[in-house]
Amino acid sequence: MHLVSVAIDIVLGVIGLGIVILVHEFGHFFAARAAGVEVEAFSIGWGPRIAGFSRGGTEWRISAFPIGGFCKMKGEEAFRKALEDDASELPREKGSYYGVAPWRRMLISFAGPFANVALAFLVFSLSSTIGYDSPTFPNRIVLLSEYDLGGPRLSEYPADKAGLVSGDRIVAADGKPIADFSDLLEKITLSADKPVHLRIDRDGRPYDKTVTPIMDKSTGGGFIGVSYWADPIVGTVASGSAAQIAGIEPGDRLVSIDGKKVQHAIAAFSILNSAKPERAEFGIERGGKIAEFGVVLNWSTQGKSNLGIGFETQTHRVRAASSLEGAVAAGAAETWSTFQATLIGLESLFRGVNPLKAISGPIRLTYMVGQSASEGIQASASGGLAIPLKFVALLSIGLFIMNLLPIPALDGGQIVMFVVEAARKRALRPITIYRYQFIGATFILAIFVMATVGDLLFFAAR
């Protein structure tokens, strides 16, 4: 059943990732046609042609490998011939890519990334018209320093230095309200190495604390050493899991494990992780009565069990905009905030982040897109649709920024080359263009290999 679920996620991911890339290529297509450049072929997918037809001077193809596609403009063959002949300049064929002015080629290069950011804006605006729910936890925290969840631990976390206490409710950060743990996580993640001023509710009394998140080298995000405080009420029980076999049901309250009191979900995980028992006695409160349930556990080499319990969450509600203008404004605001967050993530790559963990390759991206789509399908019809749509928007903005980096072979690198050509008022030699693009292609290949290795490590640890 798990393999079927993963297969469905991958299929949905291929569709979602393909849409993002296709929109990018359509941006190039329409800009090329507007600039007077002939598009010889437009393919949905890569590899061998499966089917197609010709219309308007363009061959429209469906190709074998269904991720994304490409837009082939007139001039590629002339470029190859110029290289073979060691020509001093490219032939300026009418209707070819290199036959139009540099500023037109700049627009064509920019149009692909622009189409992605336009898609993100439309998706965020659409999500605002729908409204949606997502699961989260309360704004109450637990200090990780007090519990064993496996893996490496710090001698002191920023939350401890700041004087936070397990059970504190974070009600505001830098003056903005914190409604739930999702709000807090977003703020902390985007504030690595930057002081954050917190307003705390501790047993009904307000306190002000300042915490400086450190960077998590595996993600590039900020980290202070806290987790959510979730009451130990069972929300879900996985089919075939140890908990289901033992008779535990949604709605049960977990009060103890092997005689040790359980205050919250993190305490339950800590008790199990520290001992990794093959059998544990769960004290369960059901209908006002407490009974013992024997749970037989298996542990993987990565320290994960087959327990199968998900604790009860609360709903993070994003309400639908009341008007079209409000939806557009919300879409623009979310596009801008996502743009800023993506830049922060990109910056973290130059600050000692582990690239094997922080950079997602095509395998992991496909899986993540598909997983968000699956969650959306399982959710309500309208709100569920917003989940995969928002993930597609996040990918679109990431593609916008990455493609505009001044790296040869990317759109940003192409724009730099055309700016140089315009400034010199003379075309670059074909061999110079080839070498420039070869350097970029080598760099991108290295990143691709590194990201793919990271993807394999990601799935091996699951």
Do residues 194 and 212 make contact, with C-beta atoms less than 8 angstroms apart?
yes
Is residue 376 assigned to a domain? no
The domain boundary residue, chosen from 227, 252, 286: 227
Could you tell me which residues come within 8 angstroms of residue 371 by beta carbon, excluding any fewer than 6 positions away?
9, 13
The domain boundary residue, chosen from 194, 227, 260: 227
Q: Give pLDDT, residue 247.
A: 95
Q: Give pLDDT, residue 285.
A: 95
Cα 418 from Cα 22, distance rounded (Å): 24
Cα 280 from Cα 169, distance rounded (Å): 31
The arrangement of strands across the sheet holding 253-257 comes to 260-261, 253-257, 279-286, 289-296
Residue 295, φ and ψ in degrees, nearest 5: -115, 120
> Closest Cα partner for 56 from 29, 28, 96, 76?
29
Q: 10-residue block means of pLDDT along the chain (462 residues)?
A: 52 71 92 93 87 89 80 82 76 85 93 94 85 82 88 84 95 94 88 93 95 82 90 92 94 95 93 91 94 92 85 78 85 86 68 57 50 47 58 82 83 89 83 79 68 57 55
Q: Tell whether 159 and 205 lie within a shared domain.
A: yes
Is residue 427 assigned to a domain? no
The domain boundary residue, chosen from 279, 312, 345: 312
Among the listed residues 25, 40, 334, 421, the single catalytic one is 25
What is the domain range of residue 201? Answer: 141-227
Is residue 436 assigned to a domain? no
Could you tell me which residues come within 8 angstroms of residue 446 by beta carbon, excluding any fewer than 6 positions away?
none
Do residues 115 and 23 make contact, with C-beta atoms less than 8 angstroms apart?
yes
> Six-digit token pair at 86?
């060691």
Cα 277 from Cα 258, distance rounded (Å): 10
> Six-digit token pair at 215?
């960077």
H-type alpha helices, 85-178: 102-130, 158-161
Is residue 459 assigned to a domain? no
Cα 139 from Cα 181, distance rounded (Å): 5
Q: Tell whether 288 and 263 lie within a shared domain.
A: yes
Q: Reduced to 3 states, what is the DSSP secondary structure of residue 64? A: strand
Q: Give pLDDT, residue 377.
A: 44
Q: Tell whether 276 and 302 lie within a shared domain.
A: yes
Q: Tell whether 223 and 145 lie within a shared domain.
A: yes
Q: Tell whether 297 and 252 lie within a shared domain.
A: yes
> Six-digit token pair at 20?
């993002």
Q: Tell whether 169 and 191 lie within a shared domain.
A: yes
Q: Tell whether 291 and 247 lie within a shared domain.
A: yes
pTM: 0.70
Cα 379 from Cα 390, distance rounded (Å): 14
Q: Tell whether 181 and 209 lie within a shared domain.
A: yes
Is residue 277 assigned to a domain? yes
Q: Tell whether 238 and 193 lie within a shared domain.
A: no
Q: Tell whether 208 and 241 lie within a shared domain.
A: no
Is residue 5 assigned to a domain? no
Is residue 189 assigned to a domain? yes
Is residue 363 assigned to a domain? no
Give the distance, in angstroms, between the CA of residue 140 and the centroid of all CA atoms in the same chain: 25
Helices and strands in the chain, H and E counts: 13, 18
> Closest Cα partner for 442 from 434, 431, 452, 430?
434
Give the distance, in angstroms, between the CA of residue 34 and the centroid of all CA atoms in the same chain: 33
Q: Tell whether 148 and 209 lie within a shared domain.
A: yes
Q: Tell whether 252 and 221 lie within a shared domain.
A: no
> Closest Cα partner for 248 from 314, 306, 313, 315?
306
Q: Reduced to 3 states, what is the DSSP secondary structure of residue 225? A: coil
Q: Work out how many domains the chain is built from and give that number.
A: 2
What is the domain-level CATH number for residue 244?
2.30.42.10
25 is catalytic: yes
